[in-house]
Amino acid sequence: MGGSKTSPKAVILVGGEGTRLYPLTYGIPKPMVPVLNRPFLEHTIAYLRKYGVENIILASSYLPEVIQDYFGDGSKLGARLTYTVENNPLGTAGAVKNAEQYLDSTFVVLNGDIFTDLNIGAMLAFHQRKGAKATIALIQVDNPSAFGLVETDSDRRVTGFVEKPSPDQVTTNWINAGIYILEPEVLGYVPVNSHYMFEKGLFPLLLKQDEPVYGYPFSSYWLDMGTPEKYLCLNHDLLLLKVKSALINDLSRDKVCCDKEAAIHSSAEITGPAVIGSKCQIEQGAHIKGPVVIGADCHVGERANIEETVLWRGVNIGAGASLKHCIIGSNTSIEDNDQIVNRVVTPDSRPR
């Protein structure tokens, strides 16, 4: 970790229901959605491990048992995981307050739906250099109206916030990236067991109290995967090597990464980049054109065409069906000869 002696702990906020990803996230917490056939959260934990962060608190309020069953104590990923669970969602800052007993020195907070390769060591060094109580990572976007704007002075000290501004309120295009470094004492400003948010509650209060809050601008990869378009974009960006996951190191451009246990007919044509999971069956004359991800236990029927699409596990694609730019949820069946473009399809939703 660049410059610091001990690695900070991190809190990942994994409590959202993923409403913007419905119906894909019915019954699964958003951080468990598969990205290149591994839970999104596993990529995030590997990212933190890359920067030396070992002690990670998963702050959850929605289906925590699904997350715990998969990750356990985290030792398989070289991490030490602690779980905190809210009976009712406490909001972003309230969830961290709920983990206060584990936070006795400078720590990192990550929104659970952010994929980034921000250098945490460099951000921590900035935080320490400035003597900040809170440092907010800032990323520049073209259209900031759906985000929280963060205004700073020439020393990068935060001077104001504008949440989801109308066009005439846009004073900057630097937005809150959902990654923070905090000193434990700021949690003294957060009410116990109450719903409380960083963006609208704690950070404006810290400014009022004249506490040193700084913005750390960065320009490396950043994406909030919380909508179907962004989720698909993340899978494509990883396959096209626009960004690397710390979890997966055998991808290369145009390559087809196929599990040994997949059965692919010799006449099927597969153009990478593609990831094909275990026990998949790909039948005669099927065409797959990357970027494509095919989950475990999928069946792709004869002459089916799949392009720029992500299939979750256990999907059945009928003979002659054609899919372009789609996300197909687990255990969905697509009928023979169906033609589907730009859609999310799950067992609960009909393709047309």
Give the residue, chosen from 9, 57, 83, 113, that forms a contact with ligand GTP under the rule CB under 6 A.
113
Stretch 216-275 residues interacting with ligand GTP (CB under 6 A): 226
Question: Is 22 a binder of ligand GTP (CB under 6 A)?
Answer: no
Range in contact with ligand GTP (rule: CB under 6 A) among 18-26, 45-53, 204-212, 253-261? 18-26
Q: Beta-carbon neighbour count of residue 115 at 10 Å?
A: 22
158: alpha, beta or left, given left = phi > 0 and alpha = psi -120 to 50? beta
Nearest CB to ligand GTP, comparing residues 30 and 49: 30
DSSP string of 235-267, one letter each residue = HHHHHTTSS--SS-----TT-EEE-TT-EE-TT
Q: Measuring CA to CA, which residue among 42, 108, 82, 76 is closest to residue 246? A: 42
Range in contact with ligand GTP (rule: CB under 6 A) among 109-117, 147-155, 278-286, 289-297? 109-117
Nearest CB to ligand GTP, comparing residues 95 and 298: 95
Range in contact with ligand GTP (rule: CB under 6 A) among 106-114, 243-251, 264-272, 328-336? 106-114
Q: How far is CA 76 from CA 54, 215, 295, in A?
A: 12, 34, 22
Q: Beta-carbon neighbour count of residue 210 at 10 Å?
A: 7
Give the residue, chosen from 32, 63, 93, 95, that forms a contact with ligand GTP under the rule CB under 6 A.
95
Question: Is 16 a binder of ligand GTP (CB under 6 A)?
Answer: yes
Q: Measuring CA to CA, which residue among 244, 217, 4 is closest to residue 121? A: 4
x/- letters, 284..323, toward ligand GTP (CB under 6 A) = ----------------------------------------
Identify the DSSP state of 199: I
Question: Is 60 a binder of ligand GTP (CB under 6 A)?
Answer: yes
Give the residue, chosen from 9, 30, 43, 236, that forms a contact with ligand GTP under the rule CB under 6 A.
30
Joined together, the tokens standing for residue 243 give 């960004």
- Cβ 345 to ligand GTP, closest distance in Å? 20
Question: Is 89 a binder of ligand GTP (CB under 6 A)?
Answer: yes
- Cβ 93 to ligand GTP, closest distance in Å? 9
x/- letters, 153..192, toward ligand GTP (CB under 6 A) = -------------------------x--------------
- Full strand arrangement of the beta sheet holding 274-276: 256-258, 274-276, 292-294, 310-311, 327-328, 344-345
Nearest CB to ligand GTP, comparing residues 147 and 218: 147
Range in contact with ligand GTP (rule: CB under 6 A) among 55-63, 181-189, 213-221, 326-334? 55-63
Q: In this structure, what are the phi and psi dihedrals at residue 108, rounded to the nearest 5 degrees?
A: -105, 145
| 329 neighbors 311 (Cβ within 8 angstroms) | no
**Tokens 């004869």 appear where?**
302
Q: Measuring CA to CA, which residue among 213, 216, 11 is closest to residue 131? A: 213
**What is the separation, in whole angstroms, between the first and last Cα of the chain?**
51
- Name the site residues for ligand GTP (rule: CB under 6 A): 13, 15-20, 30, 59-61, 86, 89-92, 95, 111-113, 178, 226
